[in-house]
Amino acid sequence: MSRNLQEHILQAASALFYRQGIKSTGVDAIVKAAGTTKMSLYKYFPSKDDLVLAHLCQSRAAMLTHIQNAIDSGGQTPRQKLLAVFDVFDAMLDTPEFRGCPFINAAAEFAEENNPVQQAAAEFYAEFGKLLADLAEQAGSRNAKPLAAQLTLLIAGAIVGEQIHRNSEAIANARAAATVLIDYNLPNN
């Protein structure tokens, strides 16, 4: 039961953090949403900061798994798989619940350098960039890391663009730019 309560608290907090923002979500709201007590919350998460980092850790694992699954089913060639990443984000951005990237949002709220939240956001994007660089390298790119960095910037920019202007087709525009970059950087295209 205790593991279920811990997970339930984390899920309730994650939903609130994503919907309302981290700093504007108080412990009382989390306790209420989870249907528990502060004592139970603090038993599993000694501070709100611990809860925030657990939320980002869980979000990181879930997003990377979701992206990897989409890549694995997104096509036969590394080029197709690189473009499949944009399809993953297109689906995410098209939901009514979309409130931006949890990592970009968290980094904006905790902008102080060396803040653990800022570091968790940076770690997600570093791992995401490595995933893209590995795909670009498999595709034969001699500039895999720069290409991955460019694709990451296109995706992050599209996320923010869509967050600011819903239904802006930001990810479609980013995918079109990515196609040009990928074709330029891959041999035999």
Tell me the residue range of the domain where 3 lies: 1-46
Q: Is the per-residue pLDDT at 8 higher than 80?
A: yes
Cα separation of 31 and 54, whole Å?
A: 16
Provide φ and ψ at 164, rounded to 5°. -80, -45
What CATH number is associated with residue 5?
Answer: 1.10.10.60
Q: How high is the pLDDT of residue 189?
A: 55
Q: Band the pLDDT of 187: cuts 50, 70, 90.
A: confident
Cα separation of 63 and 61, whole Å?
A: 6
Note whether 62 and 34 are same-domain residues.
no
Domains in the chain: how many in total? 2
Note whether 66 and 20 are same-domain residues.
no
Q: Band the pLDDT of 2: cuts 50, 70, 90.
A: low
Half-sphere exposure of 85 (CA within 13 A, CB side): 32
pLDDT per residue as tens digits for the range 130-177: 999 999 999 999 899 999 999 999 999 999 999 999 989 999 999 999
Determine contact, residues 56/103, Cβ cutoff 8 Å.
yes
Note whether 22 and 94 are same-domain residues.
no
Note whether 33 and 111 are same-domain residues.
no
- Quote the pTM value: 0.91
Note whether 70 and 142 are same-domain residues.
yes
Q: Is the per-residue pLDDT at 89 higher than 70?
A: yes
Cα separation of 128 and 148, whole Å?
A: 9
